[in-house]
Amino acid sequence: MSDREYPARPIVGIGIVVIKDDTVLLVRRGKPPNVGAWTLPGGAQEVGETAEEAARRELLEETGLEVDTLHFAATVDNIRRDETGRVRFHYTIIDFATRWVSGEPVAATDVTEAAWARLDALDEFELWSEAHRVIAIARRLVA
């Protein structure tokens, strides 16, 4: 069991939507929760770090990319219960949107793959409904 399972309070998570032309950056998770699932890059905010600093750090750690201006996009609550109904994971996720500047993503740290996904073919990645919602908001913000 990780230190993030069965938390005493919600953990602040950070997500980042990187738009490049008609694609969005997705990563495949290598650690719980959601091992093997495609999602937006991101992770937990660290003590002493602003939300924007966390977004930039997570993006760099997971994909090697650096980006320019970040725009607040949305908040998402991710609460997962075990079979007894007890809260196993609880993240409050702050999502940012940005436009790609340069470089190609390379999977690192806790992701196994990083890829540009066509915005008109996201159903192939079986994304969580909230990821679809946040991507739609991000597209409007960085258009």
What amino acid positions are annotated as catalytic residues?
113
Gyration radius of the chain's alpha carbons: 14
